[in-house]
């Protein structure tokens, strides 16, 4: 039995992985694009309605941040897939740098999302505490 026979030729594997990488990265880009369009639409609605922008802007930013974080996760997944087919040390270094940058962006974005979420929760508590104030005697 010939043990040197390849289950899948390396060129076919590289092409398959390249296709998967493109699909995953396209999904990430699409998620980011959809989030940006959604946020812009909500921003326009908020401006047209003239509602209190501070709280609404925080919610818009929070949701946009979630879209960005998810999109970056897909981009990072594409980077991981790219390393699956025995790249050169130069390619590994480039991918490591890109992955580090995307991971750092995602880390700081996650911190920003947590801060926005905490701010919204504080505002919500202020509103509910203010509405529970005892009524003045008549």
Distance CA(17)–CA(132), nearest Å, equals 59
User: 90, 80, 70, 60: which is closest to 28 by C-alpha?
Assistant: 70
Span 11-124: which CATH code? 1.20.58
**pLDDT tens digits, 85-123:** 767 788 788 888 888 888 888 888 888 888 888 888 888
* This model's pTM is above 0.95: no
**pLDDT tens digits, 17-53:** 899 999 999 999 999 999 999 999 999 988 888 766 5
Distance CA(130)–CA(35), nearest Å, equals 33
pLDDT attached to residue 106: 83
DSSP one-letter code for 1: -
DSSP one-letter code for 135: P
Task: Quickly list H helices, the chain.
Answer: 10-49, 53-82, 89-131
């Amino acid at each position: 039995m010939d043990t040197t026979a390849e289950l899948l030729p390396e060129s076919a594997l590289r092409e398959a992985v390249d296709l998967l990488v493109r699909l995953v990265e396209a999904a990430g880009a699409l998620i980011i694009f959809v989030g940006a369009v959604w946020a812009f639409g909500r921003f326009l609605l908020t401006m047209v309605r003239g509602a209190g922008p501070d709280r609404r802007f925080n919610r818009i930013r929070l949701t946009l941040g979630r879209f960005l974080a998810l999109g970056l996760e897909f981009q990072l997944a594409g980077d991981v897939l790219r390393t699956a087919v025995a790249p050169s040390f130069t390619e590994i270094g480039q991918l490591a740098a890109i992955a580090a940058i995307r991971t750092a962006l995602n880390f700081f974005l996650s911190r920003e999302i947590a801060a926005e979420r905490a701010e919204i929760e504080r505002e919500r508590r202020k509103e509910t505490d203010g509405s529970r104030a005892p009524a003045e005697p008549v």
